[in-house]
Structure 1
Amino acid sequence: MPQRYSLAAITLHWAIAALLAFQIAVGWALEGLGSHGFFLYQWHKSVGMLILALTLARVAVRYWKPRPAKLEGGWQGALASAVHVGLYAFMLGAPLTGWALVSTAKVKVPTLLFGVLPLPHLPLPASVHAIAENGHGLIAWLGIALFLLHVAGALRHHVMMRDGLIWRMVPGRSGVLLIALPALIALGFIAGRAILPAPQATPAPVAEVEDKGMEAGNITQAEAVNAAAPADNAVANAAQNTTQAAVEEPAGPPPAWTVQPGGRIGFSVGNDGETISGSFAKWTAAIVMDPDHPDSADIKVTIDMASASVGDAYKDGMLPGDEFFGSAAHPTATFIAKGAQASGPNRYRASGTLTLKGVAKPQTIRFTLSGKDATRKVTGSATIARLPFGVGNGDSSKGLAPQVAVTFDFTAKRKD
């Protein structure tokens, strides 16, 4: 009866095999998922690091408990040994090149192994990135070929040669384990396919614009302005008719307003049929405006871009990077508007300049005032085209919609 491997070697063999099947199932789908596959990338990296750790343990066990003697010589035995060496190179090389790939990427995405243990980046130069990326892909395909050769060799020995070699990896020559252990490989592959996202249906187009303003993220700013133009023109004509006889002049300089704690600036963007939503924790607004004379408005909003969060630690780690907000070089974004126009009862439109990531572009916001006297509630929205500002300019942003919906609400008190 052939000598068996140690129980530690057997356990590691089947555990690594099942994890490799999982990696193959997930890895095939990652490239086409864009940012929608962010969660899967984290799983892929976590399982890859686990395979690396288990493979190192397997190498240690191999020297601690030497493998059984070969049952076959000649070129067949040499091929089997070459496949084994190749598999070890694959199990070590694939995680290491993946780690190097992540460490040298332009966008430094943090990795938390299984959402718990942070994985540091390797101290490698950016020039290594292309080598690591190409090497990782090549090693993956070679590994799949070696994996299949290894399985074919085991079946050859067990079915054709009937030399009992496969029992060296089955504790106690158990027939149940002979079925159950290889089934773990199939289960690993099935689990990898099961966590892949379902195909996303194309969102239905927006048919109309509500009078209350733009539907967040579904229409462009130009479409919203054009749709609202008839109403705005009607208001403007009515205002002109009522002021032809006499123009009411402001009684004095427009009042300044202080934003009260508890306000919010939020944002949302489509992502392959889903929506990513977040907000900025730190921002300030300097507002001067007489609601009865909106042309007196002087508005400046300053946003701390590093305070952006979408409620996910992984994605939050990406936002300050160059692919998105580039907050190291451009820590703040500003919106400045001189003057506003009434677009309905207590409704206004302000056209100004948005400076984001070092790029200045025209931008319009819409807002509504409620309340009276010294306290006003402000709610509003805007739709921002992200690409002119270079926001979302990398591979992980392929699934993002080109328009970002911004909403804001806060309370302001008039300064005495």
Structure 2
Amino acid sequence: MSARPTRYGAIAIALHWVIALCIIAMIPMGFWMTDAIREPGTQALAYRVFQFHKSVGFLILGLTVVRIVWRLAHPAPALPAAMKPWEAFAARVTHAAFYGLMLALPLTGWLYVSTGWAVSADRALAVPTSWFGLLSIPHLPWIGEASAALRRTVAFQAMGAHAMLAWTAVALIALHVGAALKHQFLERDGVLAHMVPGLPHGDAPAAPLPGAREKWLGRCAGFGLVLIIAQAAAIAVTPAPAPQLTAVATARPAPAATQTAPAPLPADSSQATAWAVDYGASRLGFSGTHSGDGFSGRFEKWEGDIRFDPANLPGSRATVLVQVGSARTGDATQEDALEGEEWLDFKGHPVARFEANAFKALGGDRYEAAGTLTLKNASVPVVLPFTFAERDGVATVKGSLKLDRRALDLGMQSDSGGDWVSMDIGVLVDLKAKRAATRS
């Protein structure tokens, strides 16, 4: 019979303390943000904490899997021979319960965010998940395709289980720390030295390896306790209140035709000057507020066919196509949300189109372009005020306008009241272009 090691290895110790610190930080963070997200003054910070909380949760899940694999290949140090049988049994059960919690806590959190339902506001709220802004974490596929009523029910149950598991973790941590301190300062048997480098080992001889019967009983008890925790957390939660679903009526024009690259406007004697856009020196941006904080972004892929001449406004025309999937804000979570079906719907409608066919002089270098913006299934009339200045054959155009996202059906399922994202979305045009040869 082989002897057990006197302490855990460096990898096991590192995994233990990293996971422990993450869990200890996550519990108060979770309780705080649950209340703070409801308050306008702390909503923006709570949103960022939520994203960090999710990232740490997935870190815990990954490290726990690594720790379990490592533990199966590396035996734990033996318990002191003087330890009472019930204490040894309780220690094994507690360790098994910790492993169950380290898996169940992040998994119930993952299930909750996958429902796309905010329990705090009791409404749909699709928020993507990214891991520390570095990579996207997919939501569980089956729940996202379920009905709103089912997603709501699962969200309440998952959040209830998540909260109960968090309180269970608090109790187990207190029990675990108390037992470790008891062994260190009262028993003086060196148990704490198994996991804390530098502490002296106790003089008590190590207990022999447990026999088959003891192993079987300990594993069954630990596995049974994990199942009890999971079942209690899943079903012993407060039932969700009766649904308060509000239907959002949104006018939807007929689907727009598939967009293609802007066709060159036909050249004739009345046509205005053609301009070649310098895309590297130009910017097509957008802005708004999210949870009380301002945000701004840009579209990285767009192209336009522009004909404009202050002396020939009747012959001026412009067509601009925007690849909506190229929207960038610098926040991976926001970018994932923008690509989703509820917002810009990159997969269903990859291109937005702005077509201006009426230009008006406002005095000086100020003008306005009236036209139509087509985004997803909506087409709305828009007027873009802008300034135009030309020097040495290079034109500088600057303009901005406000879009009402209600008219474009942007985020109307999750945020129909504008509580999270501003109803008005600003669009900024900063364009550099050179005179182009007339097309024939």
Category of TM-score, reference length = shorter chain: 0.5 to 0.7
Match of 1:300 in 2: 319
- Give the distance between the partners of 1:159 and 1:283, measured in 2 at CA: 64
Query: Contact between 2:8 and 2:77, CA under 8 Å: does it hold in 1?
Result: no
Is 1:51–2:60 an aligned residue pair? yes
- Give the distance between the partners of 1:175 and 1:412, measured in 2 at CA: 69
Match of 1:236 in 2: none
- Give the distance between the partners of 2:92 and 2:295, measured in 1 at CA: 50
Deviation at 1:71, TM superposition (A): 3.5
Match of 1:144 in 2: 166
- Give the distance between the partners of 1:98 and 1:28, measured in 2 at CA: 13
Match of 2:345 in 1: 326
- What letter matches 1:53 in structure 2? G
Query: Tell me, what secondary structure is at the counterpart of 2:278?
Result: coil
Is 1:97–2:108 an aligned residue pair? yes
CA deviations on 1:304-359 (whole Å, 9 max, x unpaired) are: 21222123444333321123210111111122233122212121122322211221
Instruction: Describe how 1:335-350 pairs up with structure 2 within 5 A.
Output: 335-350=354-369
- What letter matches 1:48 in structure 2? G
Match of 2:75 in 1: 64
- Give the distance between the partners of 1:5 and 1:19, measured in 2 at CA: 26
- Give the distance between the partners of 2:193 and 2:400, measured in 1 at CA: 66
The two structures have a TM-score, normalised by structure 1, of 0.65
- Give the distance between the partners of 1:299 and 1:266, measured in 2 at CA: 18
Query: Contact between 1:4 and 1:68, CA under 8 Å: does it hold in 2?
Result: no
User: Residue 99 and residue 277 in structure 1: after superposition, are their counterparts in 2 closer, same or farther (change >3 A)?
Assistant: same
Match of 1:258 in 2: 275
- Give the distance between the partners of 1:174 and 1:68, measured in 2 at CA: 15
The answer to which of 95-104 and 306-315 deviates more is 95-104
- What letter matches 1:277 in structure 2? S
| Structure 2: gaps (5+ residues) | 117-124, 201-268
User: Residue 314 and residue 159 in structure 1: after superposition, are their counterparts in 2 closer, same or farther (change >3 A)?
Assistant: closer
Query: Contact between 1:367 and 1:379, CA under 8 Å: does it hold in 2?
Result: yes
Instruction: Describe how 1:154-173 pairs up with structure 2 within 5 A.
Output: 154=176, 164=186, 169-171=191-193
Match of 2:29 in 1: 26
Deviation at 1:92, TM superposition (A): 1.0
How many matched pairs? 338
- What letter matches 1:318 in structure 2? A
User: Residue 80 and residue 395 in structure 1: after superposition, are their counterparts in 2 closer, same or farther (change >3 A)?
Assistant: farther
User: Residue 23 and residue 362 in structure 1: after superposition, are their counterparts in 2 closer, same or farther (change >3 A)?
Assistant: same
User: Residue 394 and residue 165 in structure 1: after superposition, are their counterparts in 2 closer, same or farther (change >3 A)?
Assistant: farther
Deviation at 1:393, TM superposition (A): 4.0
Query: Tell me, what secondary structure is at the counterpart of 1:141?
Result: helix
Query: Contact between 2:365 and 2:389, CA under 8 Å: does it hold in 1?
Result: yes
The answer to which of 333-342 and 114-123 deviates more is 114-123
User: Residue 366 and residue 90 in structure 1: after superposition, are their counterparts in 2 closer, same or farther (change >3 A)?
Assistant: same
Deviation at 1:268, TM superposition (A): 1.7
- What letter matches 2:54 in structure 1? K
Out of 265, 272, 285, which is 2:304 matched to?
A: 285
Deviation at 1:257, TM superposition (A): 1.6
User: Residue 78 and residue 68 in structure 1: after superposition, are their counterparts in 2 closer, same or farther (change >3 A)?
Assistant: closer
Query: Contact between 2:287 and 2:427, CA under 8 Å: does it hold in 1?
Result: yes
| Structure 1: gaps (5+ residues) | 179-251
Deviation at 1:367, TM superposition (A): 0.9
Is 1:405–2:430 an aligned residue pair? no
CA deviations on 1:348-405 (whole Å, 9 max, x unpaired) are: 1223222112211221110111126965322211111223212234659853222222
- Give the distance between the partners of 1:59 and 1:25, measured in 2 at CA: 26
Q: Give the alignment's Cα RMSD to 1 decimal.
A: 4.2
The answer to which of 381-390 and 144-153 deviates more is 144-153
Query: Tell me, what secondary structure is at the counterpart of 1:26?
Result: helix
Instruction: Describe how 1:381-396 pairs up with structure 2 within 5 A.
Output: 381-393=400-412
Which structure has more helix as a fraction of its residues?
A: 1
- Give the distance between the partners of 1:303 and 1:21, measured in 2 at CA: 46
Query: Tell me, what secondary structure is at the counterpart of 1:64?
Result: coil
User: Residue 138 and residue 71 in structure 1: after superposition, are their counterparts in 2 closer, same or farther (change >3 A)?
Assistant: farther
Query: Tell me, what secondary structure is at the counterpart of 1:371?
Result: strand
The two structures have a TM-score, normalised by structure 2, of 0.62
Query: Contact between 2:130 and 2:332, CA under 8 Å: does it hold in 1?
Result: no
Query: Contact between 2:126 and 2:337, CA under 8 Å: does it hold in 1?
Result: yes
Q: Give the number of the structure with larger relative contact order, counting CA–CA contacts within 8 Å between residues 6 or more apart.
A: 1
- What letter matches 1:283 in structure 2? W
Match of 1:109 in 2: 128
- Give the distance between the partners of 1:310 and 1:177, measured in 2 at CA: 49
Deviation at 1:14, TM superposition (A): 4.1
The answer to which of 356-365 and 285-294 deviates more is 285-294
- Give the distance between the partners of 2:354 and 2:195, measured in 1 at CA: 73
Match of 1:359 in 2: 378
- Give the distance between the partners of 1:361 and 1:173, measured in 2 at CA: 65
Instruction: Describe how 1:117-196 pairs up with structure 2 within 5 A.
Output: 119=137, 124-126=142-144, 127=146, 133-154=155-176, 164=186, 169-171=191-193
Is 1:269–2:288 an aligned residue pair? yes
Query: Contact between 1:374 and 1:414, CA under 8 Å: does it hold in 2?
Result: no
The answer to which of 357-366 and 398-407 deviates more is 398-407
User: Residue 52 and residue 286 in structure 1: after superposition, are their counterparts in 2 closer, same or farther (change >3 A)?
Assistant: closer
Deviation at 1:94, TM superposition (A): 1.6
- Give the distance between the partners of 1:173 and 1:297, measured in 2 at CA: 76
User: Residue 17 and residue 131 in structure 1: after superposition, are their counterparts in 2 closer, same or farther (change >3 A)?
Assistant: farther
Query: Tell me, what secondary structure is at the counterpart of 2:287?
Result: strand
Deviation at 1:84, TM superposition (A): 5.3
- Give the distance between the partners of 2:361 and 2:18, measured in 1 at CA: 67
Deviation at 1:269, TM superposition (A): 1.7
